[in-house]
Each structure stands twice: as C-alpha cells, then as structure tokens.
Chains A and B, each alone.
Chain A
Amino acid sequence: QKEVEQNSGPLSVPEGAIASLNCTYSDRVSQSFFWYRQYSGKSPELIMSIYSNGDKEDGRFTAQLNKASQYVSLLIRDSQPSDSATYLCAVNRSAYKLSFGAGTTVTVRA
C-alpha cells in the first residue's frame, strides 16, 4: 500500500466549476497535511496546509481533513485556467519528512 494515494487524473473541469481532489494516507499517526501546486516545468509551491479535522478555507481553495478516515481533500472553487497544474498531496511522517502522492493533473477548460 502506498503511503499517500491520490485520485487518478487527469481531471478536466470547465472554467467556473469546482475541482475536487482527493487523497488518502496510510500512517494513522500523521499530523500535518499539505497541498502543493506544480506547474509544468516548475517546482512545487505550497497552497494549503491543514492540521485539524474539518475545513480550512483560503480564497478559492478549501482543504478538508478527516483523520478517522485518513482522508484529505482539496476543493478549488470558481476554477480558472490559471489553476491548470498538477496538485500534490503531502503527508508528514517521521522527523519532519513528507511523503508525496503521485499527483492529480487538473485542466481547466475556458
């Protein structure tokens, strides 16, 4: 079982729609969860961090965490063409290390 699994892509959504990205993790003791965005040919950039169960909103992005289900998600509301990228879910493990999912590629159609 992979440490971090993301829903397979690619995900294509029309402009203005909601993009929903899912991630599950295997280590029940994980405490920190992150979403990174990576544009083609660029390095990952942090867009959201979440540590407690529930929702966390930042602009058009909402992260949701359910530790009991070992599940974390990212919603992108009012999707824009500039949101077209690969989204990486990352989960902490030991000694500040992160495990990354394979990523979900999102394409927003104008």
Chain B
Amino acid sequence: KAGVTQTPRYLIKTRGQQVTLSCSPISGHRSVSWYQQTPGQGLQFLFEYFSETQRNKGNFPGRFSGRQFSNSRSEMNVSTLELGDSALYLCASSPTGGAGDTQYFGPGTRLTVL
C-alpha cells in the first residue's frame, strides 16, 4: 500500500499570504489528522477529520482551517500568514482515528514564511 503523501513538500510564502496544503491518506483510512511541528513548541495537534467532519480542533487561531473530501483526502489552509507559522506540517492517517489506532505520518510540508 502506498503511504501518506503530502504536497507540496516545501513552500516559501511571505507574510499576509495564504497557503493550502494537501494530504492523501493511506487507501481505506478515513481519519486524517494534522500536526504542526516547530523547534519551540514541538508537535501540536491542529485538527482531525473523519468522513468529511471535523471531530476536534487544537488550540490554534481561526486562520488555520481544514477540510476533508469524500475520498478522505484532506487540505489545510492558513490565511494571513505570520512569521510564526513557519513550521513542518505533518499529516497522519488511520482507519478510524480511535484510541489504539496506529497513525501513519506523511513526510510533511515545510512552510517558510518570510
């Protein structure tokens, strides 16, 4: 089976712009989660989707949003970019997202905001 794929792998944007990141889960997985990784804050949960519904959202401002499509692919969007949004954004998929499910991570999208 193909793993979790994320596109693009690298992005450079300037402050004030917006960006959309994409994640394709492992075939058959219906849960997709997003995490932000920075040197200062570590790995932080952004949100989780299952069957096109957001089930939980982390403590991030409303500039961060996401969605999931009927084929389980997911996108996240960050509007009005700030320097502090520079990070590695990781997507993970699992069959149901439930406790005990193994979450499989993609390689990440490295976002740099100038």
* A and B interact physically: no
- CB within 8 Å of A: which residues of B? none
- CB within 8 Å of B: which residues of A? none
